[in-house]
Amino acid sequence: MNSPILSGGLARSGDTMMTGSVCLANARLILPDAETMGQITVEDGIITAISDATDVPPGAIDCRGDHVIPGLVELHTDNLERHIEPRPEVDWPHHAALLAHDGELASTGITTVFDAMRVGSIHSGRGQTGSYARRLASELMDLRAAGTLRISHFLHLRAEICSETLLDELAEFSPEDRVGIVSLMDHTPGQRQFRDVSKLKVYAAKKQNMTDAEFDEHVAHLTGLQERFGEKHETGAVAEAGRLGAVLASHDDTTPEQVAQSHRSGVGFAEFPTTVEAAEACREAGIAIMMGAPNIIRGGSHSGNVSALDLAARGLLDIISSDYVPSALLLSAFRLAEAWDDLPRAIRTVTDAPARAAGLRDRGTLRKGLRGDLVRVGRHGDTPILRGVWSRGRQVG
């Protein structure tokens, strides 16, 4: 991935940076492969020193033995959509929603986010959807340019293959829009996440209050859309990801055959494979494997798919995403550390691994010369307690 946006150029130009320095001392630093007591210094937004000195210099923050880890990197979150539509049919003012979303993520230790926005609308049948991503992305960039955002934002375009307008909506974006990820989403009933259609029926009945007849009609309509547009939209979305300089992601791969197709398309990482077989195929194909933090915390998938902890035990887990609960990202890393008995390895799943998967080379690790994105974490029993968040050296949480 050689996009100038992701390799550091534009990624640094608009993120608010503190001029000056901050030193976190008497801290348990979580390095890529080790834990060490010491101190870390950030000057003008960049890590300039890491040492094993145990003193607390004048003006430094005494962390009192708390962990200090890199800022969390979030590749797939539904949180922004929850803020712009807090209830069905409620369109919340977007600037206010964006700022609330940004502040919430900062408060959970996330310092880099790829904001998921759906592209691809349905204008006929039950479950109609309208386009919103282009407008919302422009509003996000306006706030970023004004210096009002606390953390670093990129775009993650969720390309809905089973839709009517996908390619038209993708065409509205340009390489200057900080589109870091394009994921291929196919929610056609009977495969992938909803291979068990009964699970989709329960979901639809709760969310959209569908009768049995309405649900059957909805399934038939979505299946028809996939038959009409599926192949064309998938081919077009792959091409658009290349035009935008974005990393390509698959979503809910279930079978080795689907993983093989993802590999042929150039997918860099797989979001939430639903079976052990799909995860094993991803590993063989060199595709990084992402699972959801709520799956780890709950001990299983809410859709009845494979357990993230099962994949972790098999060595088939690389990246964690908060998915629909931002605060779950930090908690899940510490739960995973218990399962692996390896905190540095677990922290890499929410910092270094997602940064590398997205092509970001200027963050994700405590190392001199990288961004000063830091999180101070205490403990209460087995629960992590967030005690401070710095984005490019500026305290934001």
Q: Percentage of residues in the chain with pLDDT exceeding 90?
A: 74
Dihedrals phi, psi of 203, to nearest 5 degrees: -60, -50
Lowest mean pLDDT among 60-69, 186-195, 227-236: 186-195
Q: 286-337, pLDDT tens digit by residue?
A: 999 999 999 999 988 866 789 999 999 999 999 999 999 999 999 999 999 9
Residue with the larger pLDDT of the pair 66 and 124: 66
Q: Which residue is associated with the tokens 């205490």?
A: 378
Amino acid sitting at position 160: E
Q: Tell me the pLDDT band of 12, cut-offs 50, 70 and 90.
A: very low
Structure confidence by residue, pLDDT tens digits, 36-88: 999 999 999 999 999 999 899 999 999 999 999 999 999 999 999 999 999 88
Cβ atoms of residues 66 and 28 within 8 Å: yes
DSSP-based three-state secondary structure for 262: helix
Enumerate residues 6+ apart whose C-beta is below 8 A from 279: 270, 273, 289, 306, 311, 314, 316
- Per-residue pLDDT band for 127 (boundaries 50, 70, 90) equals low
Asked whether the predicted pLDDT for residue 383 surpasses 60, the reply is yes
Buried b (16+ CB within 10 A) or exposed e, 248-260: bbbbbbbbbebbe
pLDDT higher than threshold 70 for residue 356? yes
Encoded tokens for 283:
């590993």
Share of the chain above pLDDT 70, in %: 86
pLDDT in tens, 84-106: 999 888 999 999 999 999 999 99
pLDDT confidence of residue 20: 81
Q: How does the average pLDDT of the chain come out, rounded?
A: 89
pLDDT in the model for residue 9: 34
Q: Where are the domains of the chain?
A: 72-360
Residue 3: per-residue pLDDT:
42
What integer pLDDT is reported at residue 213 of this predicted model?
A: 76
How sure is the predictor about 164, in pLDDT bands with cuts at 50, 70 and 90? confident
Looking at residue 150, its pLDDT comes to 97
Domain 72-360 has CATH 3.20.20.140: yes
